[in-house]
Structure 1
C-alpha cells in the first residue's frame, strides 16, 4: 500500500490542532501547564525515546482528565496509538484502541467514539486487511459529526489510500467526495493536498491524460496559494507527471527520493510503463524482499506482545471471555515457543555438523566450501521459514485480533469457518515443524525399525485418500497396480507413509493442474517393490537432479516449500534398505521412483 507511512505521520498534527480548535470553539483558554505538557508530547513524538513519549502522554492525559477536558484526553490517547503504529507495534496499537473504545463507552463519551472506530480502520488497513479496514472507516464516517469537515476529509483520503492500488477508480470517487466538502478559498492547504493526491490516483488508474490535467491544476494552485499550498505529495506528483510524459529517467529520479518500500513499488510501475519488464521484475523482487523483512519484524513484535498480554487479557475479560479466544491466544504462544526451539535445534545441529567436518578434514579448500554451504543453508532456512510460516501465523494472529474485539459479532457459520482456517494453518505449521525436528534429531541418521507388515496397494490408496482430504481441489490422482492386493512387505509403515505424503504432495503442487499417476509393481527379478509417482509439470534438468536432494535447495526460490521433502524422503527410503531417485528418462514432467525390498512374511 502506497503512502501509508506518510499519512500516519500527518495524523498527529491534525489530532493536536483539532484539540486546539475544540478549545477555542468552546471559548476555553489553554493554560500554561496544558501547553507545556502538550509541547512535551509533540517534542518526543518523532523520536525513538519511547519512555519519554509515553511518560509525557500519560501526564497530559492525567491533566486533561482531571480538568474534565475529555476531547483532548482522547486525542492524547490517539497520539499514543499512532506512535505505536509508526514503530509497527500493531498488536499493541489494536489493544490500546479497544481499551480506548471501552473507556469512551464507560464514560459515556459517545461523541468521541468515531475516533476509536477510525483508528481501528487505520490499523486493519495497515496490516493488509482491506475488508476490515474499509468497514471501520465507513463506520467512522457514519459516527462523525457532519460539522467535523476536516475529520471526514481525512477519512475519505484514508479510504482512497486503501483502495488506490486495486481499485483506483473508487479511490478517485473518494477523493472527489473529500473535495466536495472543502471550500477551496478557506481551506487552501487541504484542497491542494487532495488535488495532489488525485495525480497519484490517476497514475495508478493508468490514465496519463488525466495525470497531466491534474498535474497542471496542482501547479496552478501552487502559484495561487503560495505558503498555504500543500507539498505533502510533491515528490509522488512529479514522479507521476514525468512517467505520464514518457520521461522515465526523471520519474525514476523522483522515485529514488521516496522511502524504501515506496521507492521499489513505484520503480516497478515506471519500468512496466516503459516496457522494461526485466527491470520491473528486479524492482518487484526488491520490493517484496523489503516488505517481507518489515513483515517479519512486525510478526515477531506482535508475538512478544501476545505473550505479554495473555495473562492481562484473561484477568480483564473474565466476565466476557470466550473459550475459542483463549484457545487461539494460547496456540499463538505455543507456536512461538515451538518455532524458537525448533530453529535452535537446527542451528545447534548445523554447528555440530560443521565441527565434525572440520575435525575430519583439515584441507583449507574443503573447509572453505563447507563454510560457504553452511552460510547458504542459514540464509535459505531464514528466508524459507519467513515465507512458509509467516502466512499461517498471520492468519492465526489476524483472526485472534478480530475475535478480541468485543463489538464484532460472529455468526455460527463464521466461527466455524474461522476455526477451520485456524486448524488448517496450525496443521501446516505442525507439518513444517515435524519435518525440521526430524532432520535435526539423531533419529534422522540412525537405524529405523522395520517390523510392520504393510500391504503395498493399501498404503498407496491411503496416501491418496489423505491428500484428497487435505486438498479437495487437488488434481486428479490415478493409481495403477500390477501386484496383488494381498502382497505385503515387512518395513516401517510410518516411514513409507511419510515418503508417499511428501512425494504425492510435490507431484500435485508442481504438476500444472494435470493428473498425477501412481504405479505399483515388482522389478524384473521380483526382489523389490517399485512405486512410481509421475506428473506432467516442470522437467528437472540432469545437472539439477543431484542438487534437488540437498537440504533446503530449491530450483525456484519464489515457489512455496522449504526444500526438505525430497532429501527427507530419500533419507527415510535408504534407512528402510531401499532407494528414492528421479527417472532421468522421463521427459514429460517429473517421475519419482521408490524401491523397497520384498521379503517373505
Structure 2
C-alpha cells in the first residue's frame, strides 16, 4: 500500500496549529497560550524530548479546559496522538485515543468523538491494518457530517484515498476528488488533494490527469509560503520522467525520496510498470526489508510498552502487599510495646530487635523483587531487539521469493527461478540455524550431567574440524592446525562437546576474518593438568573492554552480520560443562585469540 504518513502528519499538524498560532497572536493578553503553542509545535518536530512535549500538551489542554474551548482542547490531543504515531509508539497512541474517546462520550462532545475515530484510523493505518483504518475513518466521517457543523472532513478523505491507492486507484481517485471538494479555500487541504491525485494518475497511467493536477498543485502552493511543497519534489519529478519515458531518470528521482518506505514503494511501482523483472525483484526485496524494519520497530515498541505496563502492575502489587505488611507490623509493634510496658520493661529491647529484623527482611524482599523486575525488563529488550529481526528477515525473504516464483504474472527464466529457490533454501537454513542455536543454548544451560570422556587422537580430530569448517571461510583465508604434541598424541575429553566448542569459535573467526589465516594450536600447561587449545585469527581485534561482554547473551559487536549473539555464550556454557574455561587473550594484538582450557584428568 502506498503510504506517505510522515508528510501527511506534517500537513495535519500544520493545519491544526496554524489557527492556534494566528489566534494566539491576535490576542495580546494570550502570551501564555502563544508561548505554549510555539513550544508544542517545536517539540512535535524535533522528537528529542517526548516527556517535555507531553507536559507542554497537558498544559495547553488544561488552559483550554479552563476557558471552556473544547475544540482546541481536542485539537491539541489529536496532535499528541499524531506525534505518537509518527514515533511508532502505537500502543501509547491507542491508549490516549481510548482516553479521548471516553472523555468525549462523557461530555457528549461530537467533535472530540469524531477526532478519536480519526486517530484510530491513523494508528491502524500506521500498523498496516487497512480494514480497521478504513472502518474508523468512515465512522469519523459519519459523526462529523451528522453532528459537527462546518466540519473539515477533507483530511479524512485524504486518508481514505491513501488507503485505496494501491489496490483500487479508481476509488482512491473518487475519494481524492471528495477531499478537494470539501477543502473549500484551505490551501493545505487543496494541495494535499492535488498531490494524492498526482499519485493516483501514476497508478492509472493517466498522464493528462497528472499534468492537470500538478499544475493546480504548483499554483495553489504558491499562495501560502508556509506549505511544505518541497517535500513532494521527487515524487513529482519521478512521475514526470516516467511519463516522458525517461525510466532511468524516474528511478533516480525515486531514490532521492526522503521517506524510506515511500522510496521503496515508488521504486517498486515504477519497476513493475516499466516491466523489468530483475529490477522489480530487487526493488521488491528492498521493499520487504523496509516494511520488515518498520514492522519490527512497531511490534517491538508495542511489546516493550505492554511489558513495561505488566511489570509496573506486578511491582505495584508487590509494593501494596509490602505496605500492608508494614502497617500490620507497626500495629503489632505498638500492641507488643504496650504489653511490654505493662508486663515488664526487660522485654522491650528484645521485641524491638525482632521487629526491626522483620522489617529489614521485608525490605530486602522488596529490593530483590524490584531488581528481578528490572532484570526481566532488560532481558526482554535484549531478546526482542536481537532475535526478532534475525527470525523475521529470513521468514520475509522466504515468503517474498515464494510469492514471486508462484506468481503467474512474473516472466522468469530458469536461472532466475533457480537463484530464487537457492535463496529460499539459504534463508531456511539460516532460520533453522538460529532456532538450533537457541535450543542448544537452552539445553546446555539446563543440563547439569557430567559429560562422558573418551580418548581423542589429536591430529585426526583437529584436522577433521579444519576440513569441515573450510567452506565457511572466505577464499582469502587459510585454516590450519598445529600442536606441540606428536601426531599420535591423545587427549582425554568429551568429543561431542569439544567439537561444538571449536566449531563455534571457528565460525565466529570466519565471520570476522576477511583475509589472512585462522589457526588451531593444541598444548598443555606447565604442570600438565590442563589441555590448552587456542583459536587465533587475523580479523579486526575485539576491544579490550569488550573481552567479557562478548560472552553475554545476545551481545553483537556488529549488528549488520547475521546471528543472534549467542554463539560465544553457548561456547562458554559448553566449556564450563567440561569443567574448563574459555577467554579472550587481550595481550594478542594481531587479531583475536580465544583460549580454551579443559582438565587433562
CA distance in 1, matches of 2:220, 2:92: 44
TM-superposed deviation, 1:125: 1.2
Task: Give the structure 1 partner of residue 163 of structure 2.
Answer: 162
1:445 shift after superposition:
9.5
Partner of 2:341: none
Partner residue in 1 for 2:44: 45
Q: In 2, distance between residues paired with 1:116 and 1:198? A: 27
Q: How does 1:370-389 map to 2 (within 5 A)?
A: 383-387=389-393
SS class of match (2:152): helix
Q: For 1:327-368, what per-residue CA distance to the aligned partner results, in whole angstroms no more than 9, with x for missing partners?
A: xxxxxxx9x969957987x9xxxxxxxxxxxxxxxxxxxxxx
Relative to structure 1, the CA distance from residue 108 to residue 341 in structure 2 (aligned partners, 3 Å threshold; closer, same or farther) is closer
Q: Distance between the aligned counterparts of 1:123 and 1:437, measured in 2?
A: 36
Residue aligning to 2:537 = none
Q: Which sections of structure 1, spanning at least 5 residues, go unmatched?
A: 317-333, 347-377, 392-428, 449-561, 563-601
Paired with 1:81 and 1:175, the residues of 2 have a C-alpha distance of 24
Give, in whole Å, the separation in 1 of the partners of 2:313 and 2:388.
32
> Who is 1:239 aligned against?
238
> 1:7 — aligned with what?
8
Tell whether the 8 Å contact from 1:193 to 1:233 is kept in structure 2 after alignment: no
Structure 1 residues 570-591: Cα deviation after superposition (integer angstroms, max 9, x where no partner): xxxxxxxxxxxxxxxxxxxxxx
How far apart are the structure 2 equivalents of 1:303 and 1:387? 18
| Equivalent residue number for residue 281 of structure 1 | 281
Deviation (angstroms), 1:42: 1.1
Moved more, 135-144 or 34-43: 34-43
CA distance in 2, matches of 1:312, 1:222: 52
Conserved in 2, the CA contact under 8 Å of 1:149 and 1:182?
A: no
- The residue aligned with 2:209 is 213
Partner residue, 2:117: 117
**What displacement does 1:154 show?**
0.4
| Correspondence 1:62 to 2:68 | no
Structure 2 CA distance for partners of 1:233 and 1:221, relative to 1, 3 Å: closer
Post-superposition Cα deviations, 1:10-45, rounded to whole Å, max 9, x if no partner, equal 211222235578999xx9887222112111111211
Partner of 1:248: 247
| Aligned CA-pair RMSD | 4.4
> Could you tell me whether the CA contact under 8 Å between 2:11 and 2:188 is conserved in 1?
no
Q: Residues 172 and 201 of structure 1 are in contact (CA less than 8 Å); yes or no, is this contact kept in structure 2?
A: yes
- CA distance in 2 between partners of 1:315 and 1:446 (Å): 33
Alpha-carbon shift at residue 114 of structure 1 (Å)? 0.3
Larger radius of gyration: 2
Distance 2:381 2:34 in 1: 52
Displacement of 1:219 in angstroms is: 1.8
Q: 1:249 to 1:226 in 2, by over 3 A?
A: same
Measured after TM superposition, the shift of residue 234 of structure 1 is 3.8
Question: What is the TM-score normalised by the length of structure 2?
Answer: 0.52
**Are 1:437 and 2:439 matched, yes or no?**
yes
Contact 2:81 / 2:93 at 8 angstroms: preserved in 1? Answer: yes
Gap change, CA 1:30 and 1:294, over 3 Å in 2: farther
- Contact preservation (8 Å) 1:192, 1:218: no
**Mapped contact 1:339–1:433 kept (Cα < 8 A):** no
Q: SS state of the match for residue 68, structure 2?
A: coil
Report deviation, 1:111: 3.5
Cα distance in structure 1, aligned partners of 2:134 and 2:280: 30
The CA deviation at 1:144 is 0.7
Encode CA deviations 1:520-568: one digit per residue, 9 max, x unaligned: xxxxxxxxxxxxxxxxxxxxxxxxxxxxxxxxxxxxxxxxxx9xxxxxx
The Cα shift of 1:82 comes to: 1.3
Measure the CA separation in 1 of the matches of 2:107 and 2:43: 29
Aligned-pair CA distance for 1:67: 2.1
Measure how far apart 1:180 and its partner are: 2.6
Aligned to 2:265: 265
**Contact 2:194-2:214 at 8 Å conserved across structures:** yes
User: Structure 1 residues 341 and 155 mapped into 2: Cα distance closer, same or farther (>3 Å)?
Assistant: closer
Query: Which runs of structure 2 are paired with 1:512-551 in the superposition (5 Å)?
Result: none
* More displaced 10-residue stretch of structure 1: 118-127 or 163-172: 163-172
On the 8 A contact 2:71/2:111 being kept in 1, the answer is no
Within 2, Cα distance between the matches of 1:106 and 1:382?
41
Question: How far apart in 1 are the matches of 2:114 and 2:50?
Answer: 27
* Aligned positions, number: 357
Q: Secondary structure at the match of 2:190?
A: helix
- Is the 2:85–2:122 contact (alpha carbons within 8 Å) kept by the matching residues of 1? no
* C-alpha deviation, 1:98, in angstroms: 0.4
Deviating more after overlay: 146-155 vs 14-23: 14-23
For 1:310 and 1:73, locate their aligned partners in 2 and report how far apart those are by CA, in whole Å: 30
1:128 maps to which residue?
Answer: 128
Alpha-carbon offset, residue 5 of structure 1: 1.8
Question: Which residue number corresponds to residue 30 of structure 2?
Answer: 31
Q: Distance in 2 between matches of 1:309 and 1:74?
A: 26
Does residue 191 of structure 1 match 2:193? no
The answer to whether the Cα contact below 8 Å between 1:118 and 1:136 also exists between their aligned partners in 2 is yes
Change (3 A) 1:30 1:295: farther
Q: In 2 relative to 1, CA 292–197 (structure 1 residues): closer, same or farther, beyond 3 Å?
A: same
- Asked whether the 8 Å contact 2:176–2:193 carries over to 1, the reply is yes
Gaps of 5+ in 2: 317-372, 398-430, 451-563, 565-601
> Normalized against structure 1, the TM-score is what?
0.52
Deviation (angstroms), 1:138: 0.0
| Distance (whole Å) between structure 1 residues aligned to residue 382 and residue 24 of structure 2 | 55
Check the 8 A contact 1:215/1:237 in 2, yes or no. Answer: no
**3-state SS, counterpart of residue 56 of structure 2:** helix
Question: Which residues of 2 match residues 481-520 of structure 1 at below 5 A?
Answer: none
| 1:278-314 Cα deviation digits (max 9, x unpaired) | 1221122122112212222222211121023337789
Which whole-Å deviations, capped at 9, do the CAs of 1:109-147 have from their partners, x for residues lacking one? Answer: 233210111101110111011111000000000001467
Kept in 2: contact 1:199–1:211 (CA 8 A):
no
- Counterparts in 2 of 1:266 and 1:85: CA distance versus 1, 3 Å: same
Superposed displacement of residue 195, structure 1: 2.0
Q: Distance in 2 between matches of 1:197 and 1:387?
A: 32
Deviation at residue 447 of structure 1 after TM alignment? 9.3
Q: Tell me the secondary structure at the aligned position of residue 128 of structure 2.
A: coil
Q: Secondary structure at the match of 1:46?
A: helix
Q: Judging changes above 3 Å, is the alpha-carbon distance between structure 1 residues 338 and 13 closer, same or farther for their aligned structure 2 residues? A: closer
Q: In the superposition, relative to structure 1, how do residues 245 and 105 fare at CA in structure 2: closer, same or farther (>3 Å)?
A: same
Give the 3-state SS of the residue equivalent to 2:166 in structure 1: coil
Q: By how many angstroms is 1:81 displaced?
A: 1.3
Work out which of the residue numbers 190, 202, 227 in structure 1 matches 2:223. Answer: 227
